[in-house]
Amino acid sequence: MHARHLSESRLYVPPISPHKLIQELVFYDPWMLTVICIMLNKTSPKQVKNVIFQFFKHWPNPQVAAETTIQEVSEVIRPLGLFRKRAEYIIALSKKFLTDDWKQLTEFKGVGTYGNDAYKIFCCGEWKTMIPSDHKLNDYHNWIATLHKSEKKPETFKRINIENDEVWCAIESEDMNKMDKEELKWWKGLVKKRRNLRHSKGLILKMMRSGVLLRVRI
């Protein structure tokens, strides 16, 4: 899997779960998702949520992050612990991410099985071919597997709609009520982008099924 493949737009949009994993919102940006996974290693999601806005405010993409210093990143992510190591990993990831000189995310220090599994589940939708070792990823994996089975048997299962607003409003009430307007706007922007991508996916699939895209290409 080369870097150029990671930047391609994908039709897969992972469903929002009751588990409220951060990766559910940033599936469309493999670099951002991988950086967050480096931060989450040996750290609680709550701690990570408290710093990721400031991080991505300073370094919104790998191009910018590749040019920063370990000291600058360390200052922002200090509350996570192991901040210097994490900073080294994030900068190294950002530099190499921009090249085609790698094939698997496991080649990057600090990513490990956890980051690679998260990428496969949320960016690629390859949850059917794997069983994650991390317990939170495993919770999501089990949930989506159950959801997938139940959607094949609508007569025995009534799907509960927990898409975007309901779940992330719950997160807002729990974790975001102390945020300033700028940070809250950033989080809501992630939700909005997810919603737009989900809507775009539906339109694209509808056009593909109707043959519109084929006619345009011809």
Helices (H), 28-180: 30-40, 45-49, 52-58, 62-65, 70-77, 83-97, 112-118, 135-151, 165-171
> Are the CB atoms for 155 and 38 separated by under 8 Å?
no
Classify residue 206 by burial, with Cβ atoms within 10 Å: 0-12, 13-18, 19+: exposed
Give me the half-sphere count of Cα atoms (radius 13 Å) on the Cβ side of residue 25. Answer: 21
C-alpha torsion 111→117→123→125, nearest 10: 170
180 in catalytic set: no
**Which residues have C-beta within 8 Å of that of residue 14, sequence separation ≥ 6?**
23, 24, 27, 121, 122, 125, 144
Name the catalytic one among 134, 139, 165, 180: 134
Q: Give the closest residue to 44 by CA, choosing from 88, 86, 15, 79.
A: 79
Q: Give the closest residue to 55 by CA, choosing from 43, 67, 72.
A: 72
| Residues known to be catalytic | 134
